[in-house]
């Protein structure tokens, strides 16, 4: 017998025995006959799940138990709700994201029950403002957060490309300490974005040390994911190693054809660090395109001083040409994918008629020749007018699968909460978790369903010490998804992203049904999760 299967069988048997010794009180919810995936990387066993209030109270054979709601889930997979460890559900605009669509239907219909915000070095400050807002207006999903290094640097140092002074470094330490004491689960960085990119490695190490004092992790959008990706992986490992805390490469990818195939090298660096005792992990979304602001194609020097300084550089003919040359280079070798058609506009607030069009299509509509030079001019014009977010097709499928298979990789969306709108967002918002279960696990057999589930539930939960979520255990919080593994599928595409995933039948958050028999219930039982509650 497979040793992992044996472990799960023993666990479930012990849980059942434990329940038999407790008073025979009625259950609130009883799920019978399902294939139970505990969240461990082990095959399922058939059994029942009993829930009272917000907890799983019984696992095993529960035939005859009285329950207010009994669901026969025979033939379906019962698993922990997924934990999205990289979520942009909370945005600067408190009328958007989780506050615009508190039912989080795009996530619930994938089986997601907990989201972790504050990624890429960006978080609200103070984070307690977001906590208060979500306490006042709850969502359907639980919310945890990191504190953003870039946000802290912007507050203390500003947008300038210079090292922090010792006084400023102390002020930044205090901001990290305040956030960790308020409930943040770690420090995130976006070292490819201003102002985080202006920080020296030593600065980030010092701030990571503070997060480590509170059992937090360091999670980073690295400085480079293209030509300098190996240097960036080494830097991420160094920050964890010298900072004395777990470190995570977030949305790991290899960008740009010149570097395709180098995932073998980045993963080797991870393995070597693990071998010498560094606690390194990875998260990833299952697509060959990224999505972020158009300024990702701009060189770092052009962002020094913030938006006003950037606009002034674009108005100076000499600096504009220098900027244009750098953008052309990035179109050729980096996220531009060596073709303006590989850059598609997701959201242009100043002109939403451009949403869904790629740079080549926009140039043709404007009766301009399609070329890298004209695409660079167009990018500068769009950023000057107000900036846009875009989707960038520049990732190789083989690298993506290689990273996905790695034992230290977990799944995260790098998306947020979306609903029908004029935006044309990346399909990862609607399809990440269903795509892993349906396309990659079931259809492509990249790994077994229990491995996929582990990478989306217990693995990310344990990474931030959420030891009562991401698992089916007696005493665990009742965040539960019931999914038909034969039909689960992502339906969202790059051309038509606003399509909900299929195959998720029931979802419970803190013991309350948010999705029942395939229908949203309107329940909003999500909670704010604080790291301080887990220390």
Q: Are residues 202 and 331 in the same domain?
A: no
Distance in angstroms (rounded) separating the CA atoms of residues 388 and 70: 48
Which parts of the chain register pLDDT below 50?
A: 1-21
Identify whether 466 is part of a domain. no
Domain boundary among 393, 410, 437: 393
- 346 and 199 in a single domain? The answer is no
DSSP-derived letter for residue 94 is T
Looking at 212-278, which runs of residues are DSSP E strands? 217-221, 247-249
Task: Please indicate, yes or no, if residue 214 is contained in any of the structural domains.
Answer: yes
Q: Is residue 194 part of a domain?
A: yes
Domain membership of residue 29 (yes or no) is: no
Helix (H, G, I), strand (E, B) or coil at 276: coil
Contacts of 1 (CB under 8 A, 6+ apart): none
What spatial distance separates the first Cα and last Cα of the chain, rounded to whole Å? Answer: 37
Q: Are residue 191 and residue 314 in the same domain, yes or no?
A: no
Q: Which residues face 47 on adjacent strands?
A: 34
Q: What pLDDT is recorded for position 238?
A: 98
Q: What is the pLDDT of residue 339?
A: 97
- Listed residues 349, 378, 393: the one ending a domain: 393
Do 170 and 241 belong to one domain?
A: yes
What pLDDT does 23 receive? 52
Q: What is the pLDDT of residues 353-410, one digit of tens each?
A: 999 999 999 999 999 999 999 999 999 999 999 999 999 999 999 999 999 999 999 9
Among residues 196, 190, 211, 192, which one has the least CA distance to residue 161? 196
CA distances from 27 to 12, 415, 471 (A): 18, 36, 19
- Number of C-beta neighbours around residue 197 at 10 A: 19
Is position 181 within any domain? yes
DSSP code of residue 345: E
Q: Which residues contact 132 (CB under 8 A, 6 or more apart)?
A: none
Token representation of residue 166: 């010792």
User: Nearest-CA neighbor of 201 among 240, 157, 245?
Assistant: 240
Distance CA 425, CA 498 (A): 8
Residues 377 and 402 in one domain: no
Q: Is residue 14 part of a domain?
A: no
Residue 306's domain spans which residues?
Answer: 292-393
320 and 345 co-located in one domain: yes
Would 402 be classed as within a structural domain? yes
Residue 329 and residue 429 in one domain: no
Residue 259 tokens read as 């570097």
DSSP output for 494-533: SSS-----B-EEEEEETTEEEEETTEE-------B--GGG
Cross-strand partners of 190: 221
Q: Whose structure tokens read 């360091």?
A: 218
Residues 111 and 152 in one domain: yes
Q: How many structural domains compose the chain? A: 2
Interatomic CA distance for residues 279 and 485, integer angstroms: 32
Q: Is the domain of 447 the same as that of 336?
A: no
Query: What pLDDT score does 202 carry?
Result: 98
**Residue 348 forms part of a structural domain:** yes
The CATH number of residue 109's host domain is 3.20.20.140
Q: Is the pTM of this model over 0.85?
A: yes
Clarify whether residues 348 and 399 are in a common domain.
Answer: no
d(CA 147, CA 127): 7
Instruction: Report the C-alpha dihedral over residues 39, 45, 48, 51, rounded to 10 degrees.
Output: -10
CA-based nearest residue to 223, from 206, 207, 238, 211: 238
How much is the pLDDT for 10?
44
Answer yes or no: do 367 and 514 share one domain: no
Asked which of 337, 368, 393 is the last residue of a domain, the reply is 393
């Amino acid at each position: 017998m497979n040793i992992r299967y044996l472990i799960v069988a023993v666990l479930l048997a012990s849980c059942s025995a434990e329940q038999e010794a407790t008073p025979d009180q009625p259950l609130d919810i009883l799920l019978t006959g399902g294939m139970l995936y505990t969240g461990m990387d082990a095959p399922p066993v058939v059994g029942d799940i009993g829930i009272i209030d917000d907890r799983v109270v019984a696992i095993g054979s529960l035939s005859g138990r009285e329950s207010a709601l009994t669901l026969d889930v025979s033939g379906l997979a019962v698993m922990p709700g997924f934990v999205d460890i990289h979520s942009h559900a909370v945005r600067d605009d408190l009328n958007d994201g989780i506050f615009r669509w508190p039912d989080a239907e795009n996530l619930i219909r994938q089986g997601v029950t907990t989201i972790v915000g504050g990624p890429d070095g960006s978080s609200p400050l103070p984070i307690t403002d977001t906590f208060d807002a979500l306490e006042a207006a709850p969502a359907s999903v639980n919310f945890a957060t990191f504190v953003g290094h870039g946000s802290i640097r912007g507050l203390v140092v500003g947008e300038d490309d210079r090292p922090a002074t010792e006084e400023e470094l102390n002020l930044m330490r205090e901001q990290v300490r305040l956030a960790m004491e308020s409930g943040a689960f770690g420090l995130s960085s976006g070292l490819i974005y201003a102002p985080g990119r202006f920080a020296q490695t030593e600065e980030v190490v010092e701030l990571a040390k503070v997060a480590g004092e509170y059992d937090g992790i360091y999670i980073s959008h690295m400085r480079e994911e293209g030509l300098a990706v190996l240097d960036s992986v080494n830097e991420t490992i160094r920050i964890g190693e010298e900072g004395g805390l777990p470190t995570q490469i977030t949305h790991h990818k290899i960008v740009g054809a010149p570097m395709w195939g180098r995932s073998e090298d980045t993963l080797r660096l991870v393995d070597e660090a693990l071998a010498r005792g560094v606690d390194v992990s990875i998260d990833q979304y299952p697509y060959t395109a990224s999505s972020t602001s158009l300024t990702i194609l701009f060189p770092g020097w052009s962002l020094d001083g913030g938006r006003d300084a950037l606009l002034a550089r674009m108005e100076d003919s000499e600096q504009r040409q220098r900027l244009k040359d750098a953008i052309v280079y990035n179109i050729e070798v980096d996220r531009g994918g060596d073709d303006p058609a590989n850059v598609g506009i997701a959201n242009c607030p100043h002109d939403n008629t451009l949403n869904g069009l790629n740079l080549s299509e926009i140039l043709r509509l404007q009766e301009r020749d399609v070329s890298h030079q004209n695409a660079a001019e167009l990018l500068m014009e769009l950023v000057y007018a107000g900036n846009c977010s875009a989707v960038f097709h520049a990732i190789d499928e083989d690298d993506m699968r290689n990273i996905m298979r790695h034992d230290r990789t977990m799944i995260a969306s790098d998306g947020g909460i979306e609903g029908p709108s004029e935006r044309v967002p990346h399909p990862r918002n609607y399809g990440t978790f269903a795509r892993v279960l349906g396309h990659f696990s079931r259809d492509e057999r990249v790994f077994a369903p229990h491995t996929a589930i582990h990478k989306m539930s217990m693995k990310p939960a344990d990474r931030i010490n959420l030891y009562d979520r991401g698992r089916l255990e007696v005493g665990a919080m009742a965040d539960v998804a019931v999914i038909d593994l034969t039909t689960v599928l992502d339906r969202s595409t790059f051309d038509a992203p606003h399509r909900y995933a299929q195959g998720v039948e029931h979802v419970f958050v803190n013991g309350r049904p948010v999705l029942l028999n395939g229908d949203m219930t309107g329940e909003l039982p999500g909670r704010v999760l604080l790291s301080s509650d887990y220390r």
